[in-house]
Amino acid sequence: MNSTKPHVTTAGADPRLAGGRLTIDLDALVANWTFLAEKSKPAQASAVVKADAYGLGIDHVVPVLHDAGCRTFFVALVEEGLRVKAIAPDARVFVLNGLFAEARPVFEASGLIPVLGSHYEIDLWTGANAVSGLKLPYALHVDTGMNRLGLTVAEALDFAANAREMPVLVMTHLATADEPGHVLNQRQFESFQTLRAAFAGIESSASNSSGIFHAVSNGGELSRPGIAMYGGEALAGVANPMRPVVTLEARIVQIRTSPKGETAGYGATALLERDTRIAISSVGYADGYLRSLSGSGTPLRNVVPKGGEGFVAGHKVPVLGRVTMDMVSFDITDLPEDAVKPGDHVELFGRNIALDDAARAAGSIGFELLTSLGNRYHRRYLYSGKGA
């Protein structure tokens, strides 16, 4: 067998029975991470694998990133961190969503590192360290403009001057880095440099996917790529240099022709202005293909007139009517009569319809589409180990 040819690992539903399939190109994922790691230099690159690796599966994503050299991961929840540790026991794994008192024994046993963002959490952690005699590490989250988790900058500076037990990492989260011209970027980076000086000698991190592409200032010693690693856009209004990682396809169940003047779908929102050939596919909002991608009959269509599209037989075709729980209809009238048949697959996003273009049609973002992917798909993971 040609060693450069990707091998296929499957998961999820039986391909003979599934209404849709997901193809995850792990070589593209690794190539994207490698590109972001190079762009992050002299900082080291970690990988954000929260939300089950953005819907793609921690069990599949973490091993290939670890093989590529990634040794630091970020998750949202302890359960996710335990899954990462089971795969990569030598990796550092930071848990972003704070600390609950009852979780301390799990952190202690597993080696997970909490990201602490309040005096309550810091006192809880360091107090337990004092009682146990263990000096378990933690990261400090500082809020420089998100107004979500974290100490204020003033609180953090005071903490730096008086703390008896310092963090191993100081981090902040950028609120508007995907918009290069936003005034908040400069303010946050300036605050971050003040923090770096106050916590001199301690590893620091500000750059998420968008921040890696930002030229405003130094983003610290550790970058945290997320959405760009999975093929999504990092910056608004800029051509996306990342390779597509995920292709979502729906299987066509039936093709029918309906006469001009009829309506299609729930609410009779799609008025057929010509004799129309319709391909009905077996994926819907229960599978994470959002209802707001409907071609008509949803409030978003009053603001963004164009709904979602599919790609089949070399052509883009519009979603017809409303996306329903288990089915989506497409107008294939403009395709040759024999171009599409039952059993064929129509791409919903992937190489021909960019993830973020599909997300924009839904009035959403690529993050939501990826993390909404359901469990009824047949999943195919492609990996050659070449990462390119």
Annotated binding site for substrate: 148, 325
User: Nearest to residue 156, comparing CAs of 118, 205, 120, 106?
Assistant: 118
CB 300 within 8 A of CB 258: no
* Longest CA pairwise span in the chain (Å): 78
* Residues noted as catalytic: 50, 266
The Cα 381–Cα 11 span in angstroms is 8
SS3 72: strand
| Phi, psi (rounded to 5 degrees) for 291 | -60, -30
SS3 134: coil
Contacts 24+ apart (CB under 8 A), 231-237: 231/28, 231/29, 231/32, 231/355, 231/366, 232/355, 232/356, 232/365, 232/366, 232/367, 232/370, 233/178, 233/356, 233/366, 234/178, 234/209, 234/210, 235/178, 235/179, 235/180, 235/210, 236/178, 236/179
Q: Which residues of 141-171 are buried (b: 16+ CB within 10 A; e: fewer)?
A: bbbbbbeebbbebeebbebbeeeeeebebbb
Beta strands 113-116 and 92-95 are parallel
Distances (CA, A) of 233 to 71, 225, 230, 359: 24, 12, 9, 11
User: Nearest to residue 246, comparing CAs of 7, 57, 62, 56?
Assistant: 56
Contacts 24+ apart (CB under 8 A), 4-9: 4/384, 4/386, 5/384, 6/382, 6/383, 6/384, 7/382, 7/383, 7/384, 8/380, 8/381, 8/382, 9/60, 9/380, 9/381, 9/383
